[in-house]
Amino acid sequence: MTTETSHDTTLSPTLEGVAALAGVSSSTVSRVINGSPQVTEQTVARVNDAIARLGYVPNRAARSLVRRRTQMIAMVIPERTAEFFADPYFAEVIQGAAMYASSTDYSLTLLIESESAPEKTHQFLRRGNVDGALILSHFSASSAYLELSRSIPVVFGVRPTGDIDAEIHIVDVDNTAAAALATQHLIDRGRTRIATISGPLDTSAGRERLEGWRATITAAGLVPGACEEGDYTPSGGAAAARRLLDSTTPFDAVFIASAQMAAGALVVLNERGLEVPGDVAIATLDNNAFSTNTSPQLTTVDLHTADKGAAMVEKLVELIQGGTIDPVTLVPIELVTRDST
């Protein structure tokens, strides 16, 4: 005799409801819906049974993944448009991402999130228009996309802030190690009073780079010098350099958290009659035009930003295709010595 087991009709026909009834995680249900080969037959059977019993209908994005791929991935930039176009970081990441995407079956589309209507971007992504998304931002705006990672594959270019209870995937550099490498180089050159111009301290990169500077100086038995906060722009670096020079704390070197700020600071040091590196040595991060179109050229830590973009696409494609990747992927860094030290 066959006994039909009834289900709790109070369960909402959602992906989470299916997961609860099947006794698996939401991500496992997504893999079954997406046709991933990495799920056992027994689990597939349990999930499909739960879907049938609940009458669950996958959303348009999930149906798109089951029936067909759009073969499109989105690079989402939750930044103000003016800052996006002024910062070479974004261009380098996008270039690396586009070059890698061209070697795959996927096309890359760029979405600069509207400041006035960010919900339009979220709706576009959830409606099955793309197979996955890359989120690239200096600031905590990326945290708004944590919920999206429950619906489609997402790779972040920086760790989102806020309470994270979803499975997320990040491709980034070790900002603490990069700052430590630059600072240690200044110490190795005999500098003992090392100040810093940090990045914005409301960003994870800004805080991590500051910590790398401070920890390295302390480990060397030195006293950390003065710290002024910048904003990753040349004008912000110039303003921070003026504050350093106007303070009562002397310094013979400065670690500057981005090449854009370092270029601005160098102008101010020259205006004040200080020679680089004779009076003040400079080490920075980012190996781009801002580190080479200066006199002297700037010693920097190359963050291999284009490689970061390529790695973001590589990891996203693996996720779309049902693969399992490490939660955090770190891009290699490299010290490039020039005449500023």
For residues 160 and 235, membership in a common domain is answered with no
Residue the block writes with tokens 């996927």 = 106
Whether the pLDDT of residue 9 is over 50: the answer is: no
CB count within 10 Å of CB 23 equals 11
Q: How many domains does the chain have?
A: 3
- Position 338 in a domain: no
For 232-277, write each residue's pLDDT tens digit. 999 999 999 999 999 989 999 999 999 999 999 999 999 999 999 9
How many CB atoms within 10 Å of residue 296? 14
Tell me: pLDDT of 140 over 70: no
Distances (CA, A) of 130 to 26, 103, 124, 136, 240: 20, 18, 8, 16, 42
pLDDT of residue 201: 92
65 domain-assigned: no
Residue 258 lies in a domain: yes
At 224, which CATH number?
3.40.50.2300
Give domain status of residue 156, yes or no.
yes
| pLDDT confidence of residue 74 | 94
**The residue to which tokens 């992906």 are assigned:** 15
Same domain? For 210 and 263 the reply is yes
Say whether both 199 and 186 belong to one domain: yes
Separation CA 282–CA 183 (nearest Å): 9
Task: Tell me the backbone φ, ψ of residue 287, rounded to 5 degrees.
Answer: -105, 80
Q: What is the pLDDT of residues 148-203, one digit of tens each?
A: 887 889 999 987 766 565 678 999 999 999 999 999 999 999 999 999 999 999 88
221 and 119 in one domain? no
312 and 298, same structural domain?
Answer: no
Query: What was the pLDDT predicted at 116?
Result: 57
Same domain, 180 and 167: no
Q: Are residues 270 and 128 in the same domain?
A: no
Whether residue 219 sits in one domain with residue 200: yes
What pLDDT is recorded for position 1?
36
**C-alpha distance from residue 259 to each of 76, 157, 176, 334 (Å):** 24, 19, 16, 15
- The larger pLDDT score, comparing residue 292 to residue 38, is at 292
Q: What is the pLDDT of residue 281?
A: 98
Query: Residue 215: what pLDDT?
Result: 98
**CA-atom Rg of the chain in angstroms:** 24
pLDDT at 306 over 50: yes
Shared domain check, 92 and 37: no
d(CA 183, CA 89): 22
Indicate if the pLDDT at residue 59 is higher than 70: no
In this structure, the answer to whether residues 140 and 214 fall within a common structural domain is no
Tell whether 7 is covered by a domain. Answer: no
Question: What CATH number does the domain containing 40 carry?
Answer: 1.10.260.40
More confident residue, 337 or 40: 337
Range of the domain at 32: 15-58
Confidence of residue 25 (pLDDT cuts 50, 70, 90): confident
Largest CA distance in the chain: 95
Q: Is the pLDDT of residue 48 over 70?
A: yes
- Residue 125: per-residue pLDDT: 86
In a domain, 5, yes or no: no
pLDDT at 78: 83
Could you tell me the pLDDT band of residue 4, with boundaries at 50, 70 and 90?
Answer: very low
Full DSSP string of 15-66? HHHHHHHHTS-HHHHHHHHTT-TTS-HHHHHHHHHHHHHHT----HHHHHHH
pLDDT of residue 128: 82
Q: Mean pLDDT over residues 109-135, rounded?
A: 82
Strand order in the sheet with 227-229: 227-229, 194-198, 253-256, 281-285, 299-302, 334-336
Residues 182 and 298 placed together within one structural domain of the fold: yes
Query: For residue 79, what pLDDT is reported?
Result: 78
Residue 338 and residue 282: Cα distance in Å, rounded?
Answer: 10
How would you classify the pairing of strands 72-77 and 170-172? unpaired
Looking at the predicted structure, is the pLDDT value of residue 325 above 80? Answer: yes
Q: How much is the mean pLDDT over the chain?
A: 87
DSSP code string of 161-196: PS---S---EEE--HHHHHHHHHHHHHHTT--SEEE
pLDDT at res. 142: 62
Q: In the prediction, which pLDDT does 10 show?
A: 46
First to last CA, the chain: 84
Regarding whether 295 and 226 lie in a shared domain, the answer is yes
Residue 164 falls within a domain, yes or no? yes
Predicted TM-score (pTM) of the model is: 0.77
Domain contains 317: yes
* Residue 208 pLDDT > 90: yes
**Averaged pLDDT for residues 207-214:** 97
